[in-house]
Amino acid sequence: MAFEYYVFLVFGAASGGLINGLAGFGTALFALGFWLQIMPPLQAVSMVVVMSVASGLQGVWLVRKSIVDQPKRLARFLMPALPGIPLGVAALSFVPVEVLKITIAGFMLLYGGFFSFRRVLPKFERPTPIADCLVGFLGGLLGGAASLSGALPTMWCAMRAWPKAKTRAVLQPFNVAVLGLTLIVFAFKGAYTWDVLKLIALALPVTMVFAQIGIIIFKRLNDDQFRRLIIALMFISGLILMLRELFA
C-alpha cells in the first residue's frame, strides 16, 4: 500500500478518536472524511463502528458515576431507540439514504449556526420524559437508516441545563449501545475479513490514544463551554455531512 494510504488511515483514526473523547460523538463524521478516500464504503463504515464503540467505552467509564446516579434518564433515551433501529433499516426501502442524510445535515447546520451565535443558550429545566423517549426513538431510527444515531439526542441534550457529565452520561452510552448493535450486524454479514481486521489493528491504538487526549480536554471544560462545544460540533458535522453527500 502507498504511504498516502497509511497517512489517511492514521489521520482518520486520530480525528475520530479525538472528537469522541472530547464530545462523546462524531467519530464517524470525522473519520469517514479520510477513510472514504482510501477504502470502499462498507469497509470504512465497519471500521468506524469498531472505533466508535472502543473509544466510546472510555467515555462511558469516565461518566460511570453519573450513569449510575440517574439510570432512568439514560433508559428514557436508550430503550425506545432499540425498536427504532430495525425500523430505520426497513425505512431504507422507502426513503433514499442520501435524501435522509442531506435533510439531517440541513437541520444540524441550522441548529448549530443559530445557537452558536447566541450569547445565552436555551435551558429547558423541567422534566420532559415523553420528549426524551421520542428523541431516543428517532435517534435509533436514524441510526438504523443512516448511521446518525447521535444527531438528534445531541441537539436535544445541548438545550438542557445539565452538567457536562450528565449530558455525556446520556450521549456516550446511547451511541455505544446503538453502534454496538450495528457492529454485531456487520459481524454477521461478514464485514470483518482478515484484511479489515489488520487495518483495525493499525488504527485502533491511534484512536484510543487520541480519545484519551480528547477526554483530557473535556475535563478542562466547564459546563457552559461543553454545551457550546457540542453545538459548534453540530454545525461542523452538518457541514461535513452536507458536503460529502453533495459532492460524493
The ranges assigned to domains in the chain are 3-246
Q: Do residues 57 and 212 lie in contact, with contact meaning Cβ atoms separated by under 8 Å?
A: no
Which DSSP letter does residue 124 get? B
Nearest to 138 by CA among 242, 47, 130: 130
Report residue 216's pLDDT band, with 50, 70 and 90 as the boundaries: very high
Res 203: pLDDT: 95
Q: Do residues 135 and 152 lie in contact, with contact meaning Cβ atoms separated by under 8 Å?
A: yes
Res 133: pLDDT: 95
Phi, psi values for residue 92, rounded to 5°: -65, -20
Residue 32 CB neighbour total at 10 angstroms: 23
Report residue 92's pLDDT band, with 50, 70 and 90 as the boundaries: low
Percent over 70 (pLDDT), the chain: 95
Calpha distance 31→35 (Å, rounded): 6
Report residue 117's pLDDT band, with 50, 70 and 90 as the boundaries: confident
Report residue 201's pLDDT band, with 50, 70 and 90 as the boundaries: very high
Calpha distance 106→178 (Å, rounded): 23
142: burial class by Cβ within 10 Å (0-12, 13-18, 19+)? buried
* pTM reported for the whole predicted model: 0.82
Report residue 93's pLDDT band, with 50, 70 and 90 as the boundaries: low
